[in-house]
Amino acid sequence: MSDHNIHATETHGHDEHAGLSKKKIWQVFGILLLITVIEFIIALWVLPNGYMSHHVGNIVYICLTLLKAFYIVAYFMHLKYEKLGLQLCLTVTFIFIAYFIVLMLIEGSYLHLHMPFQ
């Protein structure tokens, strides 16, 4: 009887991550490649020719990098297949850490001394 329960839990563990097929891996790879190509176009053509200011370029880079980080964490680290509670716990923790880092930089006058706003 106990052997039956061991085999049932082993097969259940393998079925949870069955959604990540080769097709899905290639789709995520294509999305990551497209985002990287967009970043290179912005860095090598748009910014040097003055089509976009450096301030806007930095914001676009940050957004594209966060999007790439989402795809890597969600699919290749299998966070997309985890329970909602774990996803929310990790996301809220990351947001608070980033918020406190920015808050400490602002309060410590680091940003005002080393990165003057124009």
- Please check whether residue 106 lies inside any domain of the structure: yes
Claim to verify: residue 62 and residue 33 sit in the same structural domain: yes
Claim to verify: residue 58 and residue 109 sit in the same structural domain: no
Number of domains in the chain: 2
**d(Cα 46, Cα 60) in Å, to the nearest integer?**
12
**d(Cα 58, Cα 64) in Å, to the nearest integer?**
10
Claim to verify: residue 30 and residue 61 sit in the same structural domain: yes
Q: What is the pLDDT of residue 93?
A: 86
**Spans in the chain with pLDDT lower than 50:** 8-15
Containing domain of residue 118, as a range?
Answer: 82-118
- Please check whether residue 103 lies inside any domain of the structure: yes
CB count, 10 Å around CB of 108? 10
Q: What is the pLDDT of residue 80?
A: 75
Q: What is the pLDDT of residue 2?
A: 53
Q: What is the pLDDT of residue 17?
A: 52
Q: What is the pLDDT of residue 76?
A: 80
- Please check whether residue 51 lies inside any domain of the structure: yes
Q: What is the pTM of this model?
A: 0.61
Claim to verify: residue 72 and residue 54 sit in the same structural domain: yes
